[in-house]
Amino acid sequence: MRTWLVVLISLGLVASAHGQDTRTVTEPHQPPSCAVLDAHLHADHGRLSDADEQRLDTTRIQQGIDHCAPGHAVVLRTLGVNQVFLTGPLEMRSGVTLVVDANTVLVGSRNPRVYDLSPGSCGVVNKKGHGCRPLILADQASNSGVMGDGSIDGRGGAMLLGQRVTWWDLAHEAKLRDLNQSVPWIMILRHADNFTLYNITLRNSPGFHVAVNNTNGFTAWGVKIMTPKTARNTDGIDPISSQNVTITHCWIHAGDDNVAVKANGSGPMSHITVAHNHFFTGHGMSIGSETNGGVDHMLVSDLSIDGADNGIRIKSDRSRGGLVTDIRYQDVCMRDVAHPLLFSPMYTMRTGNLLPEYRDITLSDVTIQGSGRSTIDGLDEQHRLALTLDNVFAFDQQRSRWEASHAAITVGPRRGNLLPSGDDVQLTDAPGATSAHALDCTGRFPQFPSLATAPEMASAAPAVDKTLYVAADGSGDYFSIQQALDAAPADGALLQVAPGTYREILTVLKPNVTLRGAGSGPAATVVINDHSAGANGGTTHSATVNILADNFLAENITFANDFNRTHSQQTEGSQAVALLVKGDRAIFHKVRMLGNQDTLYAGSRNCNPDGASCTPARQYFSDCYIEGNVDFIFGDGKTVFDRCEIHSTPHHGGFVTAQSKHYPEEDSGYVLNECRLTGDRSETGDVYLGRPWRPYSTVIYLHTWMGAQIDPAGWREWSPGKTNSLDTAFYAEFDSSGPGGSPKARDPHTHLLTAQQAEQYAPMRFLAGADNWDPRAILAARSGDATSDSQR
């Protein structure tokens, strides 16, 4: 059987030598031993005793490696019931192989101090990260390797000594706080030419399993990697700026990229073969995100991907992009993969002039079973994705989603059924293209091997985290908020958004979505775009954020429309909405809304054009900041603004509200409670509390401080001399204060409420409805604050 495998690899090299490892790779063999070390420790149900956790084998293993003659191996073996070697960081030497024999396990210490690069640098979460030495380092160690039928276990899910967290808990904490975890990786190679991994099982790495840097000649043959899907940043094998790499006959089950090929500024990545492998959970067969060194001449063949988040992926961005070319994927079977094909030059929203360009990418004999979402994008018209699809079949396309842009796609010569279309996509048949039959994937999805000779230490897999993490720098699950919204379950999700600027349009169509900025304040996380009424088909089509579903909650985030950054504000066409909300029971807490004309649309749903009927929609804004100048809070919602700052931006006069209640019985209106109306009168001119966009406009100010920019009259007709809507509108105040709080000078249509009359507009009473909705209680419950005066 092994001879057959060697011939198969050799044949592959001859057939496509231009696109893969230039070496003739055959199955490795174990060298003769220079030293055989016996295990001294026993793990009962995968656990060492407290005393044994202090008995490190690091020194005797390292001495064995240091004194071993090149071309030989240090063998770690079981002795009786003792099967464990406990170690801190080890360093390989040129020509020396470390063998972990069958039924033996090399175990990483749970003491962060033994991995410190500097005092206290490992086992922490901070901005810097990368404070740990790896378990095994091969630096300038050529012709060395790690082999054996046993296992190496990083114990990522075991409690650290003296602490109540695991390595994987640190990774999760870093994700929550938008920081970096310092945890050891199992293996790092640097300038370790002709390094070999053979048959070894790698388990539960705290971080990456294997990183290969600046190495000419690396072989991974028969390697098994088993780590839970939920373990963050646990890449399988990552070759980086190296040449002549072969990964073959491997089984990889990971929590991040199964394989990720990268090229950073230290050099190109070229001549790679990934053949005869099986991938399970993980992020698939990836290139990137660092491609600025250039990636070329790669062949991926005979690959199964079963149940992964991604299948075939090329990812980069403007801060670290480069040329990816001469890449061939052939004989690939995918099943139940969430994103079967993902070619993205905008993996993050980082900016820069290192532009990604993907050329001469070929998929041949690729079959996709199950539904999923695929993205096939080039950067722009000058940097199109050049892709050939030869006998590519995607089943269940009806339930799948396909997106493509800036791509030049050639189909054939064997025409499959995958024919992507999209913005600026050129689709061309290859000369003489003919119909084909899908690659038969029957029997191509085996179970992961039993690993009977590779012991496992006790380790708890991280719980499934239903939170969707978004980070513009690519460190989260998604770099785009809308991408996360699209991936969210139909019944909603929590999206935690890392600090950064997200220039995109958001549309929330699913109920029960929470959007939470993870920064120190709302200004740290900004969602922004620059659509306008004039350019995008009307005011309600200009919104940066569109909330169309019920039970939405946003907090600690900014929604902005910066149309006026590049366009002067005109009488017509300059309406530019930052937030449009039509969903019922929507809550906005500590949210900034930035714009000028028509910043915030707080409205209802299903209104007939004549306003004959509407479905009420209730919204609650607490401790928010809203800025604009003309009608910048408008719509027909039933809305409360509680303790918000409403700021008027420079303009020659303006209007805070333009509420649009259509008819007397319509259940809508705005209540502003304990707010502050701010602005510099010398810049804003006279600002009115509101004007009636529709005849029965309803706005009530309670306990609100008003700056000097507020015109003493308070309210103004929509179009003086042409409309008479003040006669039917309901505009009221109670306990207004500040330079602009001038009840005696108000327009005579103003209702100056008594304390008893004002009670009916108390925020929670006003919003309660038939379901007794209490947004203050909801906020208090999620923050752990049990005190809430729901009628205040």
Position 612 confidence tier, pLDDT thresholds 50, 70, 90: low
Mean pLDDT of the 126-143 span:
96
Residue in the structure block whose two tokens are 């199109």: 384
Sign of the alpha-carbon torsion through 349, 350, 354, 360: negative
Please say if the pLDDT value at position 7 is more than 60.
no
User: Confidence band (pLDDT; 50, 70, 90) for 439?
Assistant: very high
Residue 390 has pLDDT above 50, yes or no: yes
Q: Which residues contact 485 (CB under 8 A, 6 or more apart)?
A: 495, 506, 507, 508, 509, 510, 513
Average pLDDT, the chain: 93
Residue 278's φ and ψ, nearest 5 degrees, are: -125, 120
| pLDDT surpassing 50 at residue 84 | yes
Phi, psi of 484 (to 5 degrees): -70, -40
Task: Decide if pLDDT at 403 tops 90.
Answer: no
Query: For residue 466, what pLDDT is reported?
Result: 84
Res 434: pLDDT: 87
Length of the chain: 792
What dihedral do alpha carbons 122, 127, 128, 129 form, nearest 10°?
40
Q: How many CB atoms lie within 10 A of CB 399?
A: 9
Q: What torsion do the CA atoms of 705, 762, 732, 695 make, to the nearest 10 degrees?
A: 120
pLDDT range class, residue 445, cuts 50, 70, 90: very high
Residue 665 · residue 634 · CB < 8 Å: no
Output the pLDDT for position 211.
Answer: 98
Q: Name the β-bridge partners of 469.
A: 496
423 pairs with which residues across the strands?
405
pLDDT band of 447, cuts 50, 70, 90: very high
pLDDT of res. 606: 67
Specify the amino acid at residue 357: E
**Between vectors from CA 131 to CA 126 and to CA 134, what angle results, nearest 5°?**
140
The vertex-436 CA angle with 430 and 441, nearest 5°, equals 125
Structure tokens at 553: 């909650």
Over residues 49-63, mean pLDDT: 97
Query: Where does the pLDDT of residue 736 fall: very low under 50, low under 70, confident under 90, or very high at 90 and above?
Result: very high
Active site residues: 256, 283
Instruction: Give the per-residue pLDDT at 472.
Output: 85
647-658: pLDDT as tens digits: 999 999 999 999
Share of the chain above pLDDT 70, in %: 95
Q: Report pLDDT for 786.
A: 33
State residue 782's pLDDT score: 75
pLDDT at 17: 41
pLDDT for the residue 243: 98
Residue 737's nearest CA partner among 708, 757, 698 is 708
**pLDDT given for residue 436 in this prediction:** 83
- What does each C-alpha distance from 268 to 143, 239, 264, 692 come to in angstroms? 21, 11, 7, 64
The per-residue pLDDT for 420 is 81
C-alpha to C-alpha distance for 262 and 240, rounded to whole angstroms: 5
pLDDT digits (tens, 9 = 90+) for 161-207: 999 999 999 999 998 888 899 999 999 999 999 999 999 999 999 99
Amino acid, single-letter form, for residue 68: C
- Distance of alpha carbon 461 from alpha carbon 125, whole angstroms: 20
Residue 789: the pLDDT is 38
Confidence (pLDDT) at 317: 92
Identify which of 697, 677, 695, 686 has the alpha carbon closest to the alpha carbon of residue 745.
686
Which pLDDT does position 608 carry in this prediction? 62
pLDDT of residue 785: 37
Residue 611 burial by Cβ neighbours in a 10 Å radius (0-12, 13-18, 19+) = middle
- Is pLDDT of 268 > 50? yes
pLDDT digits over 296-351, tens only?
999 999 999 999 999 999 999 999 999 999 999 999 999 999 999 999 998 888 88
pLDDT, residue 478, reads 86
- Residue 179, amino acid: L
Contact assessment for residue 651 and residue 686, using Cβ atoms and an 8 Å cutoff: no
- Over range 663-667, report the average pLDDT: 92
pLDDT greater than 50 at residue 40: yes
- pLDDT-based confidence at residue 9 (cuts at 50, 70, 90): very low
Cα–Cα distance, 514 to 670 (Å, whole number): 23
Note the pLDDT of residue 613.
66
| pLDDT > 70? residue 5 | no
- pLDDT the model gives residue 784: 44
Give the tokens for residue 715: 């309210």
pLDDT value for 787: 34
Residue 402 banded pLDDT, cuts 50, 70, 90: confident
387 against 742, higher pLDDT? 387
Whether the per-residue pLDDT at 514 is higher than 90: the answer is: yes
pLDDT at 512: 97
pLDDT at 422 over 90: no
Contact 96, 142 (CB under 8 A): no
Whether the per-residue pLDDT at 572 is higher than 80: the answer is yes
Given a cut of 60, is residue 37 above it in pLDDT? yes
